[in-house]
Structure 1
Amino acid sequence: MTPVAFYAPMKAPTHPVPSGDRTMARAILKALDHGGLGWDLVSTLQTRDKAGDTTTQNRLIAAAETEAAQLIARGRRAGWRLWLTYHSYYKVPDLLGPPVAAALGIPYVQIEATRARKRLTGPWAAFAATAEAASDAAAVIFHLTERDAEALHAYAPPGQRILHLRPFLAQEELPQAGPRTGPMLSVGMLRHGDKFASYELIADTLKLLTVPDWRLVIAGDGPALDAVASIMHGFGDRVVLRGSLDAPEMQRAYRAASLLFWPGVNEAFGMTYLEAQAAGLPVVAQDRPGVRDVLPPGPHPAPGDGPAALAAALHHLLTNPAERLARGDAARAHVAARHLLPAASATLCGTIAELIA
């Protein structure tokens, strides 16, 4: 018997393109494994509508209705006892879990669901209504950030449990830390929108940096590669774009770096913050919702303070090796205590065990 049916409508854990969303989906499956719960990746249907297009939404709803009928039959054969969906919101609603779970008479659970009732009118109205209905149907919703928790608590139906599952790395121990004497490191997909806004802020900050001989390595790839290369061109060989790195290469990049510099414009929380801190890197980021859920308390500049405050933070760490090491050690201890696999698995699997008992 495979008790848990798992679904990630945003991006399946088997998706070929790396991202924080895929990393977190894979981490959830490892948490289930760690807790001794079998799982079945039941679908790779992506329900994302980025543009608010009614035709796209209707097509995805029809596809989901057909697939749901097949999954109900499959679930009966497999003996699923709980449905678990990761990351559903108004642009990417879970169109499969609620009808399948209802037909099978099993608990429906969500991780990182967000509510946006202002979207119940406008181009995403149909999807927003479906996402709200899915959240209403959940016996338990795990939130990853305090920002998400506010709306979940405000609109929770009677009896629904809202629980905190801290973002976590899919490992039991910390990786080896580096000497923290190399270049600065920025890690993020190279795409337009919020990610590009972070790169623009990085470029504006570097223009103010007075530390001699600073260097920055950027790890990431995507459709905004040329645009990012253009705004970094004036820095010459002090900024190096490494492209997409696999997991071992990424770990080597963390160990070779002195600190992580990623402002975090509109990040949900950012897996790179956890990975960098686990490797002992201090982080220079802005004090933003989501970001503050994965960083230890510290002097993180407010967004309104702009690039000058970020440049001052970088200058302080780059010119104070002892402070850089101390902040990195504190970040590493923070991840060890709160954001590794054992604690996350206990929270997730303990709750699931209660629901399927």
Structure 2
Amino acid sequence: MQLAFYAPLKAADHPVPSGDRAMARALIAALEFGGAQVTLASDLRSRDGAGDAAVQQRLFDTAKAEVARLIPQGRRENWAAWITYHNYYKAPDLIGPAVAKALNIPYLLIESTRARKRLTGPWARFAQAAEDASNAADVIFYLTQRDAQTLERDKTQGQTLIHLRPFLARQSLPAMSLQDGPMLSVGMLRSGDKLASYRIIAETLHHLPTGTWALDIAGDGSARPDVEALMAPFGNAVRFLGQLDAADLETVYGRASLLFWPGVNEAFGLAYLEAQATGLPIVAQERPGVCDVLAPGNYPHPEDGITPMSLRLQALLAVPSLRTALGERARSHVASHHLLPTAAATLRGGLAKAGVTL
């Protein structure tokens, strides 16, 4: 069974690593695990981050040419369905609905968000295109409960919504963490929400007793000087590991004591799943999206401030048995809900709802 797959924000074979690219690759792995053959239909990146009408028009024109190219390819390869990952107002799917309609095949979306408030303003045309794609979908898989709310509110007649939990592209858990190393933070070093999380981390560290902790930071990016400045007061207690590949990152998880990442405006955060899979307890704030991947537990609300996180860190660092208990609970949660076989079964069920049997 041949399926066309497209990721308008960032293609699965894009050279720059990111959570979005990792999720696209995981989705392809899950579809193939379920018995499909997957074609990367296009590498057109439709993102307009600035609300630039000229950029949007250029992307509409490029997409039109892509549609003309892909329709004959889809006929030759006998595509059974088109699947698009991550359709939203800054990077809408400008290709899939037209190709699927021309080929008379089901059109499915994974992680599509609706933003009616963007139908006016600089992204109005792109927001409408994202809405049109959502309206055209036979099945929409949502990853978080936050996305489900607007998808349910605005779904079209006969459209099916299915909860696909964020997942790791692996069939089994990695080795259990030793939980006796430094704390760990994993996140790109860039401005905006990531830098906001690092500011919260730095503020929290000021509340920890000196000499009782160490922190490794895995990640890199243009805001590294800003993060280094935030961490400068802590001297050698904070170490920057840079950008790590998957194998090196798994090694780092394996020697850490816990993962500390507040999660400001994270869609969900693959690092939470990766860390929990190794048995690391998590110190994070209870935020939409983040809660969809964390094992059940008590996580402080952002409005509670820094104190609850600092107290949680001190308790976990002081009591190894508590780290172990929470880590085992986290591993069990990931094993039950967030691995490849579960995701493959969910995707297979959604395709069946659209009339495609793998």
User: Shared fold by TM > 0.5?
Assistant: yes
The answer for unaligned runs of 5 or more in structure 1 is none
Question: Structure 2 CA distance, aligned partners of 1:74 and 1:128?
Answer: 28
Query: Match of 1:62, as an amino acid?
Result: D
Match of 2:333 in 1: 334
Question: Structure 1 CA distance, aligned partners of 2:323 and 2:210?
Answer: 15
Match of 1:149 in 2: 148
Question: Structure 2 CA distance, aligned partners of 1:245 and 1:102?
Answer: 41
- Render the CA deviation track for 1:336-357: whole Å, top value 9, x for unaligned: 0100000110010232144225
- Render the CA deviation track for 1:46-103: whole Å, top value 9, x for unaligned: 1111111111111111110011110011111111110000001000100010011011
2:17 aligned with 1:18: yes
Using the aligned pairs only, state the percent identity.
57
Query: Match of 1:257, as an amino acid?
Result: A
Q: 1:211, 1:315 within 8 Å by CA — same for their partners in 2? A: no
2:31 aligned with 1:32: yes
Question: Structure 2 CA distance, aligned partners of 1:347 and 1:299?
Answer: 28
Question: Structure 2 CA distance, aligned partners of 1:336 and 1:226?
Answer: 38
Match of 2:66 in 1: 67
Match of 1:323 in 2: 322
1:1-357 mapped onto 2 (5 Å cutoff): 2-210=1-209, 212-354=211-353, 355-357=355-357
- 3-state SS in 2 of match to 1:273: helix
Question: Structure 2 CA distance, aligned partners of 1:204 and 1:347?
Answer: 41
Question: Structure 1 CA distance, aligned partners of 2:10 and 2:218?
Answer: 21
- Measured at CA, do residues 330 and 211 of structure 1 come closer, stay the same or move farther in structure 2, by a change above 3 Å? farther
Question: Structure 2 CA distance, aligned partners of 1:128 and 1:55?
Answer: 15
Question: Structure 1 CA distance, aligned partners of 2:295 and 2:251?
Answer: 23
Question: Structure 2 CA distance, aligned partners of 1:288 and 1:262?
Answer: 11
- 3-state SS in 1 of match to 2:176: coil
- 3-state SS in 2 of match to 1:4: strand
- Render the CA deviation track for 1:237-288: whole Å, top value 9, x for unaligned: 1001110001110000000100000000000000000000001000000000
RMSD: 0.9
Q: 1:211, 1:319 within 8 Å by CA — same for their partners in 2? A: no
- 3-state SS in 2 of match to 1:43: coil
Q: 1:211 Cα deviation (Å)?
A: 6.1
- Render the CA deviation track for 1:25-55: whole Å, top value 9, x for unaligned: 0100110111111110011111111111111
Q: 1:7, 1:41 within 8 Å by CA — same for their partners in 2? A: yes
- 3-state SS in 1 of match to 2:212: coil
Q: 1:212 Cα deviation (Å)?
A: 3.2
Q: 1:279, 1:332 within 8 Å by CA — same for their partners in 2? A: yes
- 3-state SS in 1 of match to 2:305: helix
- 3-state SS in 1 of match to 2:336: helix
Q: 1:277, 1:332 within 8 Å by CA — same for their partners in 2? A: yes
Q: 1:89, 1:113 within 8 Å by CA — same for their partners in 2? A: yes
- 3-state SS in 2 of match to 1:356: coil
The answer for unaligned runs of 5 or more in structure 2 is none
Q: 4+ runs of 1 displaced by more than 6 Å?
A: none
Q: 1:113, 1:143 within 8 Å by CA — same for their partners in 2? A: yes
Question: Structure 2 CA distance, aligned partners of 1:232 and 1:278?
Answer: 28
- 3-state SS in 2 of match to 1:40: strand
Q: 1:211, 1:318 within 8 Å by CA — same for their partners in 2? A: no
Query: Match of 1:228, as an amino acid?
Result: V
Question: Structure 1 CA distance, aligned partners of 2:16 and 2:306?
Answer: 31
- Render the CA deviation track for 1:133-182: whole Å, top value 9, x for unaligned: 00000000000000000000000011000100000000010000121010
Question: Structure 1 CA distance, aligned partners of 2:113 and 2:60?
Answer: 19
Question: Structure 1 CA distance, aligned partners of 2:292 and 2:122?
Answer: 31
- Render the CA deviation track for 1:272-307: whole Å, top value 9, x for unaligned: 000000010000000000000001121101100112
- Render the CA deviation track for 1:103-154: whole Å, top value 9, x for unaligned: 1110000000000000000000000000000000000000000000000000
Q: 2:191, 2:222 within 8 Å by CA — same for their partners in 1? A: yes
Q: 1:119, 1:128 within 8 Å by CA — same for their partners in 2? A: yes
- Render the CA deviation track for 1:305-329: whole Å, top value 9, x for unaligned: 1122111111111111110110011
